[in-house]
Amino acid sequence: MSPSVQQAVEALREHFGTRLSTGAAHREQHGRGEAFAQAFPPDAVIWPENTGEVSLIMRTCHELRVPVIAYGAGTSLEGHVSAPRGGICLDMTRMDLVLAVHADDADCVVQPGVTREALNTFLRDTGLFFPVDPGANATLGGMISTRASGTTTVRYGTIAHNVLALEVVLANGDVVRCGSRARKSSAGYDLVRLMTGAEGTLGIITEATLRLHGQPEAVGSAVCSFGDLRGAVEAVIELIQSGAPLARIEFLDEVQVRACNLYSKMSLREEPTLFIEFHGTENSVKEQFERAREVVQSHGATGFDWAADEQRRSQLWRARHAAYFAALGLRPGCECVVADVCVPISGLAECVAAARREIDAAGLIAPIVGHVGDGNFHVLFLLKPGDTEERARMERVYDAMIEHAHRLDGTCTGEHGIGLGKRDKLVAEFGETVVALMRRLKEAWDPHDILNPGKVFQT
Amino acid sequence: MSPSVQQAVEALREHFGTRLSTGAAHREQHGRGEAFAQAFPPDAVIWPENTGEVSLIMRTCHELRVPVIAYGAGTSLEGHVSAPRGGICLDMTRMDLVLAVHADDADCVVQPGVTREALNTFLRDTGLFFPVDPGANATLGGMISTRASGTTTVRYGTIAHNVLALEVVLANGDVVRCGSRARKSSAGYDLVRLMTGAEGTLGIITEATLRLHGQPEAVGSAVCSFGDLRGAVEAVIELIQSGAPLARIEFLDEVQVRACNLYSKMSLREEPTLFIEFHGTENSVKEQFERAREVVQSHGATGFDWAADEQRRSQLWRARHAAYFAALGLRPGCECVVADVCVPISGLAECVAAARREIDAAGLIAPIVGHVGDGNFHVLFLLKPGDTEERARMERVYDAMIEHAHRLDGTCTGEHGIGLGKRDKLVAEFGETVVALMRRLKEAWDPHDILNPGKVFQT
């Protein structure tokens, strides 16, 4: 622990007492998220309980030039929450209150440590829900910071479309509010969208006003499988182009279906498969289902099981959400690297097929899943821990996937963010000049580089 | 003309020839937008034809510290396009090509001088359309720069939801590309959203990739009127809360309806009125219409005329779009100040009613229209040119409207922007610390303050 960190810890211990820990177990636990191999424990962990406490920490760390890293549920996949330069981890999970629900305006105000599942449980009897669903039960602060999206984005947008306002503590401890509860605004630079996806490098989010949506009157799900990948993806393209208001449309390749069958005790055909969900009125859900059936069948789909009942639907989506754990089950004891690229939908079939070919040619085990309505897909690389040669093969395949996405004017990350893992890919995507713009912005707002330093780009 | 501007003009004339003008008529014409009284003509106007030319202008002006102001259709309402510090106006209207339409991906690439109507004419046979509709036939560059929205935002989002990528020329002439054609991305700071609404103070937009939408299979419109304002607004609140996927829901108060009847030769009841539009399949449009009828009638609506035929629908929406000119017709020879506030929908009835009371108490003539599904409304103050006393009364009413919006956690501008006119309101909305953050960002990217200087905030 450097002298300056030591000094900060001593200064802050006075206020936080046992809510500040330098214990090895706490530090280890906060040194990494999920599925990112490298761990860098912070020097200390603090559990703040309100905005004033976050401001106090920032003031102290600003004065002493100590790095500060915010930590939510720890479900980040790109090393966002690790502390490669040491410093203080803010575990935000005690700031977990839903502060207000404005049912008339379909919005709510939450602290950053509220998880998406906790929020939806809280909202259950209001007729409203928060739709953004990245799979993991992440905290809302973390979801905002990584610009999360997930299965429902095709209908309800990413989290960036669903944040109305933020309270943020800046590098020097100043507390600011950006945005408002108005549904739209042209008032100055859009700092809400700038903070969304900034991975904690521009400020610490201490409160968020979120847009809610009416719980759909009726929900229907359907599953179908295809003889080959191309049929599945072409069905998706046609569905999206027809303007069908699908609520979710998820792809699982045959390897992932096998994993789900094993893990979730299902008996789906082990072929490229789509899970589709429809939201609307009873009539419109039925109409959507019938139209979708026509489309998928014209692309050679087998089966188009209607899962209108809650139980069957829950089973399906639980299986989809468990895809990560199901994949891990394919190779007991493995580590998993979850690749994430997003391309214009016209290039999706080509990209997924190329990924599958390269995975197989490299002798890797890796199911593929995708939020295909958005052109976003994930390869779940299952790796033997410590096998550097296998990891190198994986990296070659992943690099080729990203290059492919870039050739199609896609992105190196649809929803997981840059963190530590993809800083060179950010440069590949936009060029040095754009990354320099981001860096200049960061320097202007955080001149001592204490907010999650070294994430998003080298500093 | 200052010596540095003189020098820039001489240097650039070599390249631009007759596409650079210092003529009084051109300068006057580019010194103001619509509905903003103060004109500040630039020292010169240049009509660039490609990105390289914009870069050349920026390099020259950067070196010589000359202000540069981008100009599109001149429909800005807050003085964005005026040149209070002189400098060079870039008239972008010759950069008016649609560079690509990717029908499979439902996106297109345009130059900034393409207008929204020109784009939709271009798209007519593709099955796709660009939905953002601020009323005026603005250029897309201008719409992006002011974060425009309008009548269809309730369904299709603002322009910020419909820009995927931008090519931007920075203050020093560097050309950068932000965003991609992927539907979503978590790659670094969201510079696309930052440029969107930056009012030309951070860069000059030279190309935009826009999201398109499928032309709806069926469209229906309806009109109904209410005995009082509250009934109309409460009907809107209930419709929005029910999750009805309305494509447009527009409010006109009795004064505006009278103006429209006179101007567009219609015979609507001169009462608070809603224009509603439904998009979907034939069945879902019918279902939406029937449900909307139940809701509006339960709030005391008179009539709910179904305007399924194209002709009747066009007449209605032409009348709505002509609201500004219809209002001007109420007081021949008048000037019009178009007020713009946006509030959480629960406060909308209260806000509109208070505005009407204060307009009447101040003896002003001012119809009210609103994109009420978003909580956004406009008061069209009709003023006698040069009557400073009347203008002062107007300003008191408008200030009170904005204070009211702020008390309800709304915004001082839903869609028109800050420009010159609302810089003090931006401070009132967010406080000095937030505006200082915006200023630091501007300084970091445009250290000589040459990009539309003095707009959004004092510099």
Closest CA to B112 of B197, B183, B164, B51: B51
pLDDT value of residue B140: 98
- Cβ within 8 Å, pair A181-B287: no
Instruction: Name the residue with tokens 């300056």.
Output: A4
Would you call A269 helix, strand, or coil by DSSP? coil
Confidence of residue B89 (pLDDT cuts 50, 70, 90): very high
Last residue of a domain, one of B180, B197, B214: B214
Q: Which two tokens stand for residue B25?
A: 């008529």
| Same domain, residue pair B47 and B120 | no
Residue B36 has pLDDT above 70, yes or no: no
Search chain B and give the residue with CA nearest A285: B284
Confidence of residue B310 (pLDDT cuts 50, 70, 90): confident
Does the beta carbon of A447 lie under 8 angstroms from any beta carbon of chain B? no
pLDDT value of residue B316: 86
A 209-228 residues inside an 8 A Cβ radius of B: 213-214, 216-217
Cβ neighbours for A25, distance < 8 A, ≥ 6 positions apart: none
A 299-328 residues inside an 8 A Cβ radius of B: none
Give the pTM: 0.97
pLDDT value of residue A304: 85
B 88-117 residues inside an 8 A Cβ radius of A: 102-107
pLDDT under 70: residue ranges of chain A: 35-37, 308
pLDDT digits (tens, 9 = 90+) for A329-345: 999 999 999 999 999 99
Search chain B and give the residue with CA nearest A442: B441
A–B CB contacts, 8 A cutoff, strictly below:
287
Domain membership of residue B311 as a residue range: 218-319
Q: Average pLDDT over chain B, rounded to whole? A: 95
DSSP state of B365: B
B 345-374 residues inside an 8 A Cβ radius of A: 345-346, 374
Does the beta carbon of A234 lie under 8 angstroms from any beta carbon of chain B? no
- Cβ within 8 Å, pair A147-B186: yes
User: CATH no. for residue A173?
Assistant: 3.30.465.10
Min distance B344 CA to chain A CA atoms (Å): 5
User: CATH no. for residue A340?
Assistant: 3.30.70.2740
B 263-292 residues inside an 8 A Cβ radius of A: 280-281, 283-284, 287, 291
Q: Is the dihedral angle over the CA atoms A440, A443, A444, A445 positive or is it negative?
A: positive
| Same domain, residue pair B309 and B236 | yes
| Same domain, residue pair A129 and A187 | yes
Asked whether the beta carbons of B146 and B315 are under 8 A apart, the reply is no
pLDDT value of residue A244: 78
User: CATH no. for residue A55?
Assistant: 3.30.43.10
Asked whether the beta carbons of A109 and A208 are under 8 A apart, the reply is yes
Distance CA B118, CA B137 (A): 9
Residues of B in contact with A417 (CB under 8 A): 186-187
pLDDT value of residue A303: 86
pLDDT value of residue A36: 67
pLDDT value of residue A240: 85
Residue B321 has pLDDT above 90, yes or no: no
Does the beta carbon of B122 lie under 8 angstroms from any beta carbon of chain A? no
| Same domain, residue pair A183 and A103 | yes
Select from A183, A186, A242 the Cβ nearest to the Cβ of B214. A242
Asked whether the beta carbons of A378 and A369 are under 8 A apart, the reply is yes
pLDDT digits (tens, 9 = 90+) for B244-271: 789 999 999 999 999 999 999 999 999 9
Min distance A445 CA to chain B CA atoms (Å): 7
Select from A176, A197, A375 the Cβ nearest to the Cβ of B437. A176
Last residue of a domain, one of A284, A302, A324: A324
| Same domain, residue pair B243 and B161 | no
Among B78, B184, B211, B219, most A C-beta atoms within 10 A, so best to mutate, is B184
Among A129, A153, A154, A185, most B C-beta atoms within 10 A, so best to mutate, is A185
Select from B148, B243, B438 the Cβ nearest to the Cβ of A188. B438
| Same domain, residue pair B7 and B67 | yes
Asked whether the beta carbons of B208 and B110 are under 8 A apart, the reply is yes
| Same domain, residue pair A337 and A399 | yes
| Same domain, residue pair A181 and A263 | no
pLDDT value of residue B308: 64
Mean pLDDT, residues B381-392: 96
Last residue of a domain, one of A214, A236, A257: A214
pLDDT value of residue A308: 65
User: CATH no. for residue A245?
Assistant: 3.30.70.2190
Helices and strands, counts by H and E, chain A:
16, 18
| Same domain, residue pair B23 and B83 | yes
Return the C-alpha torsion angle B435, B439, B444, B446, nearest 10. Answer: 140
pLDDT digits (tens, 9 = 90+) for B148-196: 999 999 999 999 999 999 999 999 999 999 999 999 999 999 999 999 9
Asked whether the beta carbons of B336 and B256 are under 8 A apart, the reply is no
A 405-434 residues inside an 8 A Cβ radius of B: 405, 408-418, 422, 425-426, 429-431, 433-434
| Same domain, residue pair B208 and B276 | no
Min distance B149 CA to chain A CA atoms (Å): 8
pLDDT digits (tens, 9 = 90+) for B422-459: 999 999 999 999 999 999 999 999 999 999 999 999 99
What is the number of other CB atoms lying within 10 angstroms of the CB of residue B332? 7
Angle at A454 between CA A177 and CA A433, to 5 degrees: 85
Number of domains within chain B: 5
| Same domain, residue pair A227 and A306 | yes
| Same domain, residue pair A127 and A29 | no
Q: Judge if ipTM > 0.95.
A: yes
φ, ψ for residue A71, nearest 5 deg: -135, 130
More confident residue, A244 or B23: B23
